[in-house]
């Protein structure tokens, strides 16, 4: 049993919940458990979509600074890879992933939220990449995913200054996708994820891989990725089911099997 990261599955929706009181600081142990949970979500056929949350009070206030403070350069060289890999494992779950952000999502917590496909934030949530105030920079994808999400100049402003961003500004920046009352964040995130139970899972996988792969390269290469993924869908039973249902019954009535 994991100590700090809990995984539950209900009606096709997996919830990855951080539980390391009181601020969900992301320690080496949390990183390892987070990676394991993400890999389990990837492998499990009964998981159609994923919600990642830190609970009702705080998402994650950052990496464990006390744990890092005494590390040497040589020690950090061996640690930074697993740190990035834990967050990347979440980003690479080949299913829709939504972050339900209550309270603080700072530093490593913000980077974890960035690894989701969409982000729902409480109206009183606070996000940011304040690593520069510690004399370091984001190290779990913040310099890369944030720039791709909100653009390089906005990302540089947030990273250079280390300032905190409240939910309304985060929505304006495109850092989050929906702002809701604090008590509704998880429920709305779960409801968003639940719409993919019974969806064409192989098509969703292909779509996510095409979008994410295309963002990492030039347009020509991205279009080639899209062509290959599009054609690949024609090898699936879901494509046959979906098109037959559309012709016979109209759109939105197909019942997919994920094969």
Q: What is the pLDDT of residues 198-214, one digit of tens each?
A: 999 999 999 999 999 99
- Which CATH number characterizes residue 213's domain? 1.10.12.10
Residue 255 lies in a domain: no
**Annotated catalytic residue, options 3, 33, 111, 257:** 111
Residues 30, 131 share a domain: yes
Residue 163's pLDDT is 97
HSE at residue 48, side-chain half, CA atoms within 13 A, is 21
Number of structural domains the chain divides into:
2
Residues 53, 27 share a domain: yes
Domain end marker among 162, 178, 194: 194
Residues 218, 107 share a domain: no
Question: Which residues, including other chains, have CB under 8 Å from residue 167's CB and lie 6 or more apart?
Answer: 121, 122, 123, 124, 125, 126, 127, 176, 179
Model confidence band, residue 79 (pLDDT cutoffs 50, 70, 90): confident
For a pLDDT cut of 70, what percent of the chain falls above it?
Answer: 100
Residues 80, 63 share a domain: yes
Residue 254 lies in a domain: no
Residue 135 lies in a domain: yes
Model confidence band, residue 250 (pLDDT cutoffs 50, 70, 90): confident
- Which CATH number characterizes residue 139's domain? 3.90.226.10
Residues 213, 176 share a domain: no
- Verify whether residue 3 is a known catalytic residue: no
Domain end marker among 175, 194, 213: 194
- The residues that bridge with 118 in the sheet, in sequence order, are 98
Q: Is the pLDDT of residue 54 over 90?
A: yes
**Annotated catalytic residue, options 8, 40, 56, 131:** 131
Residues 241, 169 share a domain: no
Residue 256 lies in a domain: no
- Verify whether residue 111 is a known catalytic residue: yes
Residue 196's pLDDT is 96
Whole-number Å distance between alpha carbons of 118 and 128: 16
Residues 245, 206 share a domain: yes
Residues 161, 79 share a domain: yes
Give the mean pLDDT of 118-137.
97
Give the mean pLDDT of 5-29.
96
Q: What is the distance, to the nearest Å, from the Cα of residue 200 to the centroid of all Cα atoms in its chain? A: 20
Domain end marker among 160, 176, 194: 194
Model confidence band, residue 165 (pLDDT cutoffs 50, 70, 90): very high
User: Mean pLDDT in the chain?
Assistant: 95
Residues 123, 58 share a domain: yes
Domain containing 65: what range?
Answer: 5-194
Q: Is the pLDDT of residue 104 over 90?
A: yes
Residues 123, 238 share a domain: no
The Cα angle at residue 131 between residues 100 and 158, in degrees rounded to 5:
70
Edge to edge, what strands does the sheet with 49-53 contain? 5-10, 13-18, 49-53, 97-101, 118-122, 178-180
Residue 40 lies in a domain: yes
Model confidence band, residue 252 (pLDDT cutoffs 50, 70, 90): confident
pLDDT tens readout for residues 140-160? 999 999 999 999 999 999 999
pTM given for the model: 0.94
Whole-number Å distance between alpha carbons of 132 and 162: 6
- Can you spell out the DSSP letters for 147-214? HHHH-HHHHHHHHHH--EEEHHHHHHHTS-SEEE-GGGHHHHHHHHHHTTTTS-HHHHHHHHHHHHHH
Residues 180, 89 share a domain: yes
Q: Is the pLDDT of residue 1 over 80?
A: no
Residue 124 lies in a domain: yes
Residue 122's pLDDT is 98
pLDDT tens readout for residues 9-20? 999 999 999 999
Residues 214, 90 share a domain: no
């Amino acid at each position: 049993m994991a100590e700090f990261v809990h995984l539950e599955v209900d009606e096709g929706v997996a919830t990855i919940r951080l539980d390391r009181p009181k601020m969900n600081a992301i320690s080496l142990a949390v990183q390892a458990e987070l990676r394991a949970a993400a890999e389990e979500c990837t492998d499990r056929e009964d998981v159609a979509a994923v919600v990642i949350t830190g609970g009702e009070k705080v998402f994650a206030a950052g990496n464990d600074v006390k744990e890092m403070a005494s590390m040497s350069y040589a020690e950090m060289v061996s640690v930074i890879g697993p740190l990035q890999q834990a967050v990347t494992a979440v980003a690479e779950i080949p299913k829709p992933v939504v972050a339900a952000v209550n309270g603080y999502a700072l530093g490593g917590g913000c980077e974890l939220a960035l690894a989701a496909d969409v982000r729902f934030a409480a109206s009183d949530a606070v996000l940011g990449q304040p690593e520069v105030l510690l004399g370091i920079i984001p190290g779990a994808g913040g310099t890369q995913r944030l720039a791709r999400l909100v653009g390089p100049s906005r990302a540089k402003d947030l990273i250079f200054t280390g300032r905190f961003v409240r939910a309304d500004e985060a929505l304006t920046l495109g850092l989050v996708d929906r702002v809701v009352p604090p008590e509704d964040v998880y429920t709305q995130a779960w409801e968003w994820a639940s719409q993919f139970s019974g969806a064409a899972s192989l098509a969703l996988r292909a779509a996510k891989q095409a979008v994410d792969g295309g963002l990492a390269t030039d347009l020509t290469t991205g279009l080639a990725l899209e062509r290959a993924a599009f054609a690949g869908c024609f090898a699936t039973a879901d494509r046959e089911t979906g098109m037959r249902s559309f012709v016979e019954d109209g759109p939105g009535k197909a019942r997919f099997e994920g094969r």
